[in-house]
Amino acid sequence: MTRIAREVYERLVGEAKEAIEEMKDITSMSRDDFIKSRRARFSLRYSIVMAVEALADLAIAILEKDFNEVVESYREAFMKLLEKGIISAEIAESMVKLVSLRNLIVHRYWVINDLRIYEEAKRGGIKVLEEFISEVSRYVEAEDP
């Protein structure tokens, strides 16, 4: 059984799920309505950051508690979960891409293209986040990781 505290797991997954629900609400808007709404644009940005950070924190907690490993970055955390067989290669690679999107939003490496963020969330980002939660949940719920 995993050594990650149940309350930590539930809190981080809960934060991510809340952000995912907000992302779903926003991406159900038309592109035009989304672009016209500053509140929707800012909320989508924040929701992506919140979901990625919560799930990265979960990955880090699993690596520390179950494998006594410390990572240097969110990207490394997801790749280590892949190495440990906890998540699939497809999900690991997609989460690394979402980390890049999170970094773009947080650090404003260049002008943020809200339409690109909207399209990426709608096209597959939300599904990736949900699948990550599903894969990690299978690990956490397993009798003998």
Q: What is the pTM of this model?
A: 0.93
8 Å CB contact between 32 and 118: no
On whether the CB atoms of residues 116 and 109 are closer than 8 A, the answer is: no
Handedness of CA 91, 58, 12, 7 (dihedral sign): positive
CA–CA dist 106, 109 (Å, integer): 8
pLDDT, residue 112, reads 84
Which tokens in the block code for residue 21?
Answer: 């629900």
Question: Residues of the chain whose pLDDT is less than 70?
Answer: 1, 109-110, 143-145
pLDDT at position 60 is 98
Domains of the chain: 6-141 (1.20.120.580)
Three-class secondary structure assignment of the chain: CCCCCHHHHHHHHHHHHHHHHHHHHHHCCCHHHHHHCHHHHHHHHHHHHHHHHHHHHHHHHHHHHHHCCCCCCHHHHHHHHHHCCCCCHHHHHHHHHHHHHHHHHHHCCCCCCHHHHHHHHHHHHHHHHHHHHHHHHHHHHCCCC
